[in-house]
């Protein structure tokens, strides 16, 4: 399940970079403290996007883990010896 979090971390960073490259004016108006220099803006986008990605990935993994735990518990509970 850690791979899900890592994948969403990378995906979040890539999406933010694409957004900043495709629409830099929108990106600068939407997010606070975006640097004016292109390279710095890309780095800023990677950091911000990857933070959002890992946050959503962590939430998703917690939900999946809770469901898997519940299903395993029900199987053990219903097992008759």
Q: What is the pLDDT of residue 81?
A: 59
Give me the mean pLDDT over the 14-39 stretch. Answer: 95
How far is it, in rounded angstroms, from Cα 68 to Cα 73?
A: 8
DSSP letter string, 30-58: HSTT--SSHHHHHHHHHHHHHHHHHHHHH
Q: Taking 70 as the threshold, does the pLDDT of residue 80 lie above it?
A: no
pTM (two decimals): 0.78
Of the two residues 2 and 60, the one the predictor is more confident about is 60
Q: Taking 90 as the threshold, does the pLDDT of residue 16 lie above it?
A: yes
Give me the mean pLDDT over the 37-48 stretch. Answer: 96
Every domain of the chain and the residues it spans: 2-78
CA atoms within 13 A on the CB side of 48: 20
Q: Taking 90 as the threshold, does the pLDDT of residue 34 lie above it?
A: yes
């Amino acid at each position: 399940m850690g791979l899900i979090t890592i994948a969403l971390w990378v995906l979040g960073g890539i999406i933010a970079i694409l957004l900043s490259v495709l629409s830099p004016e929108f990106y600068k108006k939407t997010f606070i403290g975006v640097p004016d220099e292109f390279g710095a803006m890309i780095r800023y986008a990677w950091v911000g996007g990857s933070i959002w990605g890992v946050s959503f990935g962590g939430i998703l993994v917690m939900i999946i883990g809770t469901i898997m735990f519940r299903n395993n518990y029900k199987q053990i509970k219903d097992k008759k010896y």
